[in-house]
Chain A
Amino acid sequence: MSREKPSLWVTISSHTFLLAFGATMLLPFLWMLATSFKGEAEVFERNPIPMATSLGDEGNALRTRDGRALYAVVRGGDGVVTRGEPLSVRLGNPVQEGAKGDRARTPSGENLSDDIGQPVQLGNVLNDSRRLGEWGGLARFRDPRVYVKYAEAVTVDADFAAPGFDTVANEAAAKAWFCERPGRYAGAWERLKQTRFAGRVPLMVTPAMSDAWAPLSGKAEPVMLGGVRVPNRHPHPLTEFYQFKNITWGQPGEPVRDLTLPAALCQGDGIAVRYEAAFPVFRTADDPLKADERSDLAAFVGDEPAPRAVLGSEIALTRQIRLMWSNYETVLTDPNVKMTLFAWNSLFIAVCVVALQVLTCSLAAFAFSRIEWPGRDTIFLLYLGTLMVPGAVTMIPNYLLLQQFGWLNSFFGLIIPAAASAYGTFMLRQYMLTLPKGLEEAARIDGAGLLRVWWDIVLPLCKPAIITLAIFTFSSAWGAFTWPLIIAPDESVRVLPVALKNFSGSQSTAYTLLMAASLIMMLPMLILFIFGQKYFVKGIQLGGVKG
Chain B
Amino acid sequence: MADIRISKLVKLYDNGYTAVKGIDLHIRDHEFMVLVGPSGCGKTTTLRMIAGLEDISGGEIAIGDRVVNSVEPKDRDIAMVFQNYALYPHMTVYENMAYGLKLRKMPKPEIDAKVAEAARMLSLESQLAKLPKALSGGQRQRVALGRAVVRQPKAFLFDEPLSNLDAKLRGEMRFELKTLQNRLKTTMVYVTHDQIEAMTLGDRITVMSVGEIQQVASPTVVYDHPFNRFVASFIGTPVMNFITGALSRDEDLFRFAIDGGATIGLHMHHRQRLAATLGEGRVLGIRPENLSHAGHVATAASATRVDAKVEVIENMGDHQYVYLRIGGHPDPVVMKCSSHHRCEPGETIPVNLDTSFAHVFADGGEYAPTLTLPDGFQRQQ
Chain A positions within 8 Å of B, measured between CB atoms, are 436, 438-439, 441-449, 452, 456-457, 460-461, 463
Q: List 24 A-B contacts (CB under 8 A).
A: A436-B86, A438-B82, A438-B85, A439-B86, A439-B88, A439-B89, A441-B82, A442-B80, A442-B87, A444-B52, A444-B53, A444-B72, A445-B51, A445-B52, A445-B53, A445-B78, A445-B100, A446-B147, A446-B151, A448-B103, A452-B103, A456-B88, A460-B90, A463-B90
Per a CB cutoff under 8 Å, which of A447, A460, A461 touches B103? A447
Whether the Cβ atoms of A441 and B80 lie closer than 8 Å is yes
**8 closest residue pairs by CB, A with B:** A438-B86, A446-B100, A447-B103, A442-B86, A447-B74, A460-B90, A444-B73, A438-B82
Give B78-116 interface residues, CB cut-off 8 Å to A. Answer: 78-80, 82-90, 99-100, 103-104
Q: With A448-B74, A449-B72, A449-B74 as given contacts, are A442 and B88 in contact (CB-CB < 8 Å)?
A: yes
Complexed CA–CA distance, A439 and B79 (Å): 13
Q: Chain B's interface: helix, strand, loop or mixed, by majority?
A: loop
A106 vs B89: C-alpha distance when bound (angstroms): 81
User: How close is A277's CB to chain B, nearest CB, in angstroms?
Assistant: 78
Q: How far is the CA of A443 from the CA of B144 in the complex (A)?
A: 12
Q: A436: which of B78, B79, B84, B147 is its contact (CB, 8 Å)?
A: B84
CA distance A488 to B74 in the complex (A): 48
Report whether A443 and B99 are in contact in the complex, using a CB–CB cutoff of 8 Å: yes
Across the interface, B99 reaches (CB within 8 A) one of A441, A446, A449, namely A446
Query: Complex Cα distance A442/B158, Å?
Result: 12
Report the separation of the CA atoms of residues A457 and B91 in the bound assembly, to the nearest whole angstrom: 9
Q: Are A445 and B103 in contact (CB under 8 A)?
A: no
Of listed A441, A443, A446, A456, residue having the most chain B CB within 10 A: A446
Q: Which residues of B contact A (CB under 8 A)?
A: 51-53, 72-74, 76, 78-80, 82-90, 99-100, 103-104, 147, 151
The answer to whether A447 and B104 have CB atoms under 8 Å apart is: yes
Residues of A within 8 A of B72 (CB): 444, 449
Partner of A445, one of B79, B88, B104: B79
User: Distance (Å) between the CB of A457 and the closest chain B CB?
Assistant: 6
Give Cα distance in the complex from A443 to B78, angstroms: 12
A331 to B133, CA, bound (A): 51
Closest chain A residue to B83, Cβ basis: A438
Could you say which residues of chain A place their CB within 8 Å of the CB of B79? 445-446
Q: Are B104 and A443 in contact (CB under 8 A)?
A: no
Q: In the bound complex, do residue A442 and residue B74 qualify as a contact, i.e. CB atoms below 8 Å apart? A: no
New A-B contacts (12) at CB < 8 Å, excluding given A445-B51, A446-B74, A446-B151: A438-B83, A438-B84, A441-B51, A442-B87, A444-B53, A445-B53, A445-B73, A445-B74, A445-B80, A445-B100, A446-B99, A447-B100
Do the beta carbons of B74 and A444 come within 8 Å of each other? yes
* B111 shortest CB reach to chain A, Å: 13
Find the B residue at minimum CB distance from A461: B90
Minimal Cβ-Cβ distance residue in B for A441: B53
Chain A minimum-CB-distance residue to B82: A438
**Alpha-carbon separation in the docked complex, A456 to B91 (Å):** 10
Contact partners of B52 in chain A: CB under 8 A: 444-445
**CB of A210, distance to nearest CB on chain B (Å):** 84
Minimum C-beta distance from A460 to chain B (A): 4
- Assembled-state Cα–Cα distance A446/B82 (Å): 12
Q: Are A461 and B74 in contact (CB under 8 A)?
A: no
B47 to chain A, nearest CB (A): 11
A452 to B100, CA, bound (A): 11
Select from chain B the residue with minimum beta-carbon distance to A460: B90
In the complex, A443 Cα to B89 Cα: how many Å?
12
Who on chain B is nearest to A463 by CB?
A: B90
Interface centre among A436, A445, A456, A457 (most CB of B within 10 A): A445
Complex: A20 Cα to B126 Cα, angstroms: 57
Residue of B nearest to A450 (CB): B72
**A460–B99 CA distance with the chains assembled, in angstroms:** 14
The interface residues of chain B lying within 8 Å CB-to-CB of A436 are 84, 86
User: Which of B51, B100, B151 is most buried by chain A, counting CB atoms within 10 A of its CB?
Assistant: B100
Chain B, residue nearest A457 (CB): B88
Contacts of B151 in A (CB 8 A): 446
CB < 8 Å: which of B83, B84, B85, B88 contacts A443? Answer: B88
Q: Which residues on the B side are within 8 Å of A439 (C-beta)?
A: 86, 88-89
- Is B53's CB under 8 angstroms from A446's CB? no
Closest chain-B Cβ to A435's Cβ sits at a distance in Å of: 9
Which residues on the A side are within 8 Å of B87 (C-beta)? 442
Residues of A within 8 A of B80 (CB): 441-442, 445
For A459, give the chain B residue with the smallest CB separation. B90
Shortest beta-carbon distance from B73 to chain A in Å: 5
Question: In the complex, A440→B51 CA distance in Å?
Answer: 13
Interface centre among B74, B100, B151 (most CB of A within 10 A): B74
- When distances are taken between beta carbons in the complex, the residues of chain A under 8 Å from B88 are 439, 442-443, 456-457
